[in-house]
Structure 1
Amino acid sequence: MSSNANVTAIDSKKPLSKQELITANIKLLIEQLEAGQSDALTHYLTAMSRFHQYSFGNVLEIARQMPTATRVAGFWTWKNMGRSVNAGAKGIRILAPIVGVRRKKKEEAEKDITKQNERVLLGFRNAYVFDVSQTNGVDLPNLHEVSGDPGDGIERLAGFLKDKGIQLVYNPNIAPALGMSYGGRIAILPGQSKAETFATLVHETAHEMLHKAERRTATTKTMRELEAEAVAFVVGKAVGLKNENTSADYIQLYQGNASLLAESLEVIQHTASVILAALEPSIETEDGVLATDAQPEGVAA
């Protein structure tokens, strides 16, 4: 399928299923990589860092439609924040859930009056969000005031590891390695800057989460290292660290196989989201899935 055909399929006004959306975006990304657009994957990873509260499919959609997007929200959310969407601004199409209520039978409700109704997913609909660059109005507070400083991220991540039963030690004997993951134990080389320590700790945490179980035998060493480094890239970007190492090496995540690339991106997204959740409330969250405030049309009035 040609790149143009993929774009047409993705841009269709008919809502796609989550899996159709992911598949179409993965195919498009592979075509971009094959065409020598080595920055394409970096755009997707950067989008993961900025929009980690969104679903995997919607992150891909935002990255595809506006790689430069930094903060998105629905039309009315921007209004409530004192900003207006610029006239003529083209919305970024995402999928929003349609949620209904399934009422329990009277007999069931009487057994437990606190659980009378049940929310159920009925499907998905097209919704539109807009990047902050497409709006005007009152100034927004910076999401991250510091650059190159993870704040209390190291302490929070150490607490997360402790809760998971993973031991964290600082050991000079692992040099020249910056960090090591042993399965239930992480060693970090002391003497690194706070930013380097944080990035190394995220990298090794990703190994603990991704590569110490059955998945290890299903991945190559290169892919395991690139997945862990991609998670560190996503999380580091999200907390405001400067990361100049966004080289074309990420292209190696693509091993000539669409399903492998899709799996890597999906596990990177999930792992980074879990780590970022462990760092809250240091990190301001975005809207999540916008089911009620998104502009129904793709262009602002």
Structure 2
Amino acid sequence: MTTQVRGRAAREAKLEALQEQLSESVTALVTGEDWKRALTFAAQFRGRSFGNSMLIAAQHFAAYKEGRVPEPTPTYVAGFHQWLSLGRSVARGQHGYGILAPVTGQFASFTPDDPNSWRRLARNDKPISGEYTRTRMIGVKPTYVWDISQTTGDRVPELPRPSLLQGQAPAGLWDGLADQITAAGFELRLVSSAAAIGGANGLTDFLSREVSVRMDMDDAAQVKTLAHELGHVLLHAPPETALTTESAADATLHRGNAEVEAESVALMVGAAHGLDTSSYTVPYVSTWAASVPGKNPVEVVHATAERVRATALRILDKVDTQQVGDGNPPGLDREALSHRTGAAPVTTNARRDGAVLGL
């Protein structure tokens, strides 16, 4: 067996082991409380995909139980060379956490609207003049990251963290959410009490294009409700009114989990601002995840988590608020981070923006 073949076999074995560990981690999300803890962690490590955040959480907790790290939850994670670029090095005897990093390829096309027109560029190929270029994910590979507690060296500056009193809403969050609701073509109605909207805290009406929120709650509860309704607006428009029908059909027809998704989006938005998520209510995962025909619960949970994460990130990117860190050490080059360690990807530009799918 050649060295190249042995290396490929070793990589495939590592990849299979990571995928099995990820499946086990997702399978363990049995109750609403498990789901809430997972999404809260993912919000604090939103620079990573949901799958990679679960892998990091599981391996860090195992390291904590073995006495290799001082806390059960990681703070910042980065790759070996990324820590070196920040003046820190991995301590002797510390094992990295395996995650799934994207393998990307460059594609080019003269007619980008035709999905069959894209051709893959070889390593040293360049696009022909007039072609559009796009980076796409073509596979995954195992790679490793370490928590800051596993490294030594220069001090990494601490990011400011939101400090909220009980019932207080993060400054600017209400306005940022409200702006996104109105930008989506909905009118925001503030009602005096739940009686005005059938006993609910909030209501999204796709026919009248109205979002209603009751105002007889504290500020934090009002913001949470507004984020919940914005989750509905972005994810659950009926097919005849939606820009894309896939998410609405998936949520309403297959598993009826629109409330789960909207509440989960609100939870991630809140957790990214340091809000207490203990009041968020999510039904048992095992109930709604088992109701999709043709898919096993692990597939459903993972897909739903990624949809929730993508929607929460879309919301968070458009609000001008102080948020908790995203799990990446301050000061890292974001493009290098995405390509090396499976963090949130960076879109590359040619004549038109192209999407990069991350893990």
Tell me which interval the TM-score lies in, with the shorter structure as reference length: 0.7 to 0.9
Report how far residue 138 of structure 1 moved. Answer: 1.5
Matches within 5 A, 1:100-119: 100=105, 102=121, 103-104=125-126, 108-109=128-129, 111=130, 119=135
1:180 and 2:197 correspond: no
User: For the residues of structure 2 that align with 1:14 and 1:119, how far apart are their CA atoms?
Assistant: 25
Q: Which runs of 5+ in 1 are unaligned?
A: 1-10, 295-301
User: For the residues of structure 1 that align with 2:83 and 2:200, how far apart are their CA atoms?
Assistant: 46
User: For the residues of structure 1 that align with 2:340 and 2:235, how far apart are their CA atoms?
Assistant: 35
Read off the aligned partner of 1:168 and give its amino acid letter.
L
The match for 2:97 is 92
Instruction: Decide whether aligned partners of structure 1 residues 211 and 79 sit closer, same or farther in structure 2, where only a CA change above 3 A counts.
Output: same
Segment of structure 1 superposing worse, 71-80 or 278-287 = 278-287
User: For the residues of structure 2 that align with 1:120 and 1:204, how far apart are their CA atoms?
Assistant: 32
Report how far residue 46 of structure 1 moved. Answer: 2.0
User: For the residues of structure 1 that align with 2:177 and 2:93, how far apart are their CA atoms?
Assistant: 43
Report how far residue 277 of structure 1 moved. Answer: 1.9
Report how far residue 199 of structure 1 moved. Answer: 1.0
Identical-pair percentage? 27
Q: Are 1:38 and 1:251, in contact at CA under 8 Å, matched by a contact in 2?
A: yes
SS of the residue corresponding to residue 177 of structure 1 reads coil
Q: Which runs of 5+ in 2 are unaligned?
A: 1-10, 62-72, 107-120, 239-247, 291-295, 329-333, 343-359
SS of the residue corresponding to residue 15 of structure 1 reads helix
User: For the residues of structure 2 that align with 1:126 and 1:58, how far apart are their CA atoms?
Assistant: 11
Q: Are 1:226 and 1:253, in contact at CA under 8 Å, matched by a contact in 2?
A: no
The match for 1:298 is none
Q: RMSD over aligned Cα, in angstroms?
A: 3.5
User: For the residues of structure 2 that align with 1:39 and 1:189, how far apart are their CA atoms?
Assistant: 26
TM-score normalised by length of structure 2: 0.63
1:164-215 deviation per Cα after TM superposition (whole angstroms, max 9, x unaligned): 2122221115444321111232111124333222211111111222223242
The one of 164, 171, 180 equivalent to 1:147 is 164
User: For the residues of structure 1 that align with 2:215 and 2:253, how far apart are their CA atoms?
Assistant: 32
Read off the aligned partner of 2:310 and give its amino acid letter.
H
Instruction: Decide whether aligned partners of structure 1 residues 203 and 60 sit closer, same or farther in structure 2, where only a CA change above 3 A counts.
Output: same
The match for 2:14 is 14
Q: Point out the structure with the larger helix share.
A: 1
Instruction: Decide whether aligned partners of structure 1 residues 212 and 75 sit closer, same or farther in structure 2, where only a CA change above 3 A counts.
Output: same
Matches within 5 A, 1:231-242: 231-242=265-276
Report how far residue 82 of structure 1 moved. Answer: 4.5
1:130 and 2:150 correspond: no
The match for 2:231 is 206
The match for 1:272 is 312
Read off the aligned partner of 1:192 and give its amino acid letter.
M
The match for 1:163 is 183
Report how far residue 241 of structure 1 moved. Answer: 0.9
The match for 2:26 is 29
Instruction: Decide whether aligned partners of structure 1 residues 280 and 24 sit closer, same or farther in structure 2, where only a CA change above 3 A counts.
Output: farther
TM-score normalised by length of structure 1: 0.73
